[in-house]
A and B are shown apart, each in its own frame.
Chain A
């Protein structure tokens, strides 16, 4: 029943000589919502960016080990192909300011020069915006610039943009840390909906959020994956002392 979609094997990341992610082994199943939490600088974002090979774009950055996507090592594939298979949503909403809402949703096709018919585009736009719970709000202003939307709407637009590429996996890098509480809850509600069709990995330093939205939680500390377990289990009865300390707020 449960099939693995992403698996890290002895995965390590570096910035120059700085060893940021240390020997991570993790296996994530299809249609799971995974929260990755830990204090600032623990390597959680770096790990996330290693999955779709965004990490290597930073000068001096390097990595070792394997990330298997459907059994195939992403580091043996073309980076551009990997990134088109894995969606990503960033900390700050970053819709393309030169494109309309409509064009933003199909940006993955437009910018890659993939030709699709107007009818197909219309379908993709409506479906993606509906999945991102944004269709009702923007269906009458599809040709306005995406940057006129509120922060929360922009973030959902970015989610729609990721969904439009039909990825199997979507990575979220602290997706609500720049949003107000109302926008945050609208994005969180969306995670539950998206679970049906996608696998989500959400980096967050908000423990309540991790507890609310995820099936399983990974706790990173000083670059190590300390604990990876059912979210409920982890928050009620953590196995590792460091996890316990973090959850109870003994360090941050």
Chain B
């Protein structure tokens, strides 16, 4: 009997060891990628790099300001559309889970989440780029907004579903009308979760290249016009990394570093905010 228990203990120890080992293995490639990009990119970044457009071939220097501004503007426009729409849909789904509309829109959200980003790009190309006759920042934003929507919807829905019904009843029993119950009680109580969904969706789309290939296209000059082609960080990385020039490769490494840092900071900020604003139920 004793020997049997000893054997069981050994099995548990081995099992635990395996889990720890794989957890560690999983972190290794991530760390290698991070370190490599930092090593390649960090020395490219300086004030000149952040405030100038890329230099033509042969000229030294040059920067990525066009891509920084472009990415910022397009993600901002996408967020302005996707966040309110996504939150509204998420609220509906969590409030009326048993309706037909909820069933079908939930299904659509799942499918949308699985649509490859390049397909989103092509669809927006036929919807907006072709009719307008030109690549444009606004079409890029539409593509990014479509990518953001399912993440915002699901995170809003999941967060609000976890709030107890008693909270809603407390407000309703005070004679608070339904729309105020949602806006003043339910959404504020789930705000940390909704916000983390929003920042995650931003972190997700800021690095998307495929939906921008046929939409915003790219622009070697600084442009803030939303009806003209616009550069973005991932697209800049794509074009400059596939070019045959060493200078341009360095530019792409620098841009990769910036993009990586942005996503990293966004994730850390999300974690901090979520912890700080989380309501204790």
Contact = CB atoms under 8 A, between A and B. Distances in A.
Given A94-B164, A96-B185, A97-B189, A112 B172 contact: no
B174 A83 contact: yes
Nearest to A87: B173
Contacts of A148: 280
Among the interface residues A84, A87, A88, A111, which one has the most CB atoms of the partner chain B within 10 A? A111
Contacts of A54: 169, 172-173
Interface stretch (B44-52, B143-151, B175-183): B175-183
Interface residues of B, number: 23
Given A97-B281, A98-B188, A147-B281, A84 B174 contact: yes
B174 A107 contact: yes
A96 B189 contact: yes
A211 to B, nearest CB: 27
B173 to A, nearest CB: 4
B167 A83 contact: no
A80 interface: yes
B280 A88 contact: no
Which of B167, B181, B191 lies at the interface centre, i.e. has the most chain A CB atoms within 10 A of its CB?
A: B167
A54 B189 CA distance: 22
A92 B279 CA distance: 17
Interface residues of A, number: 32
Contact of A83 (B98, B175, B280): B175
Nearest to A81: B175
A178 B149 CA distance: 40
B180 A158 contact: no
Contacts of A59: 98
Contact of B170 (A57, A80, A158): A158
B189 A112 contact: no
B280 A147 contact: yes
A94 B169 contact: yes
Contact of B180 (A81, A90, A111, A162): A111
Nearest to B278: A97
A113 interface: yes
Given A83-B172, A90-B169, A94-B170, A111 B281 contact: no
Contacts of A96: 167, 170-171, 185, 189
A110 B281 CA distance: 20
A112 B174 contact: yes
Contact of A111 (B98, B169, B174, B189): B174
Given A96-B185, A148-B280, A83 B173 contact: yes
Nearest to B186: A98
Interface of A: 52, 54, 57, 59, 80-85, 87-88, 90, 92, 94-98, 107-108, 110-113, 145, 147-148, 158, 161-162, 165
Given A57-B172, A83-B172, 10 more contacts: A54-B173, A57-B169, A81-B175, A83-B173, A94-B167, A96-B171, A108-B174, A110-B184, A111-B181, A165-B175
Interface of B: 98, 164, 166-167, 169-177, 180-181, 184-185, 188-189, 191, 279-281
